[in-house]
Chains A and B, each alone.
Chain A
Amino acid sequence: MHPILSAKPQEKLLLLGNEAIVRGALEGGLRIGAAYPGTPSSEIGNLLFQLQRELPGLYFEFSTNEKVAMEVAAAAAASGLRSLTCMKHVGLNVAADALMTLAYIGVKGGMVVVTADDPSCHSSQNEQDNRYYARLSGLPMLEPANPQEAREMTAYAFELSERLELPVLLRTTTRVSHARAVVEMGELASYEEALKGKFEKDPKRWVPVPAIARVRHQVLLEKMREATVLADGSQWNRTYGKGSKGIIVSGVAVNYVLDAVEELGLEDEVAVLALGFTHPYPAGLLADFLREKEAVLVVEELEPYLEEAARVVAQERGLKVPIFGKATGHFSRALEFTPGLVKEAIARAFGLSYTSPEAPDLSWVPELPPRPPTLCPGCPHRETYRVVKEVLEELGELSRTIFPTDIGCYTLGLLPPIQMADYLICMGSSVGSAGGFSKATDQRIVSFIGDSTFFHAGLSPLASAVYNRHRFTLVIMDNETTAMTGHQPVPSQELRPPELEDRPRIDIEAVVKALGVPKVVTINPYKKEEAKAAIRPLLEADELSVIIAKAPCILYRARVAKK
């Protein structure tokens, strides 16, 4: 049995924040989970996918994208079952269409939406602050500060969700999801039997045509008022220490603030309001805190969400207390915080003298070579890039070719010596933007997309490209897995672990042909000359074509061989 399942209540395990979320979900009686992987959320899905083999009462699937996953989880919750979906911050953009209206129709069974944000873009294309999705959608939000809270809040989130009949956002960041710390276990739910839900028809609730949507919006607004009361009294909003100065903080920064207050010896001068239930913000609690203080510093990564809330509360109550934060230049809206940065800001805000430890003289350290992440030695993507580049070179087309790229390991084709990644927005943008370039320019366009990303967001832009006579070559780099995030399954894969042997297989070449793409070839990128001869006519022509470069990820192949 997996240790996360065998651990008894009160037993302590060293868990990653994401593992703690899984344990919390299983304590909270999760029945149906669905996700598309994305760093820093991926371990949640990986673990649930693995654990369902030991738990007859748990179903988890890797859906083809975050929107599908959210719809699967929403339907489960509409049927009265507790459900969860998890995604990286930009994944919620994909699922946002579902989320916004799901907030209107709500849920019956508890539903948790985990959004794992990535300040500093450790593994992402932007550092958007998804707390604004809570505000935009009008959904309650919890923000754990560490793995222990991640476990407890996840279990609690199901109760909160059922009480309000709304999905609950659980917002982490990389430093919470990928922190590892001692976590004390609670009681696991029973998973001995598969449990079926029942969907009760109620078109006046579940089908938001305009007349119903207008009513449901009112219901949502009423629930937000109820949620504000809950936030004010929430056990997740706590005060530490006492004093005439105050700090308001949420997320991983709670740790930085509590350490700093202790290390600066400010426990009797600075009170800390650490918030875990942050949307709707606890207006009453904030007002009480602000009223007693001479000055308040708001510490939060990325956007000034709590800071603005504090200013609104102060204005509404006519409180004159100075509020420091992003607007006053104490913090930046960009990049993640560090403990030192927070300590300095606290000292500055409250007029304390603090000097960071003296740095040693390092003038003798030589220039060191950078270590950008690279494609693995022997990676099939390297071969595909080489084959395409050589043909374009031979055709004299290389310098006039635009290479739209996509999200996956192959984005590393950006770096020398490959340098075949020119334009990227988001999942699937290699296909949609290629069509745009083909209408806007006379340049040659060769796009790259992975197999998993193709199923995620490549199918509909390819249909559009066929219909609108877009002119580009799309290279689908089929390595038979979702490699970057840890080898999650893909519907097209032939190479698969034993437990997935019985799944149907969707053939990429058949799909592309069925969409009506005029020219399609499949190559083995390791057979260089053969591959070059096969793709040359496509790279010469001025019409839509698809090259499927098929060779498994070498790490994935080794992993499957071990099973």
Chain B
Amino acid sequence: MSVNVRIPTILRTYTGGRAEVSAEGATLSEVISDLEKNHTGIAARVLDDQGRLRRFVNVYVNDDDVRFEQGLETATPDGAGVSIIPAVAGG
């Protein structure tokens, strides 16, 4: 399963400045592991010491916030778009 991952500015030091990269995996967890293989250090920025999504990171698979889905076990179908976004708010 190949997906496109949108990388926030804050993590582009790990992707050589690229805003979008490809990754493999059937679940978000596998996608992050694959990202780490090719962009060493990126997983530790997205996951905490217990391997959970950091609380100020939002991840979307297509248009769905994974916190409303199965978290790191959310399925990532072939061709899906994964967006990693720092949490901000204030309307």
A and B: interacting chains? no
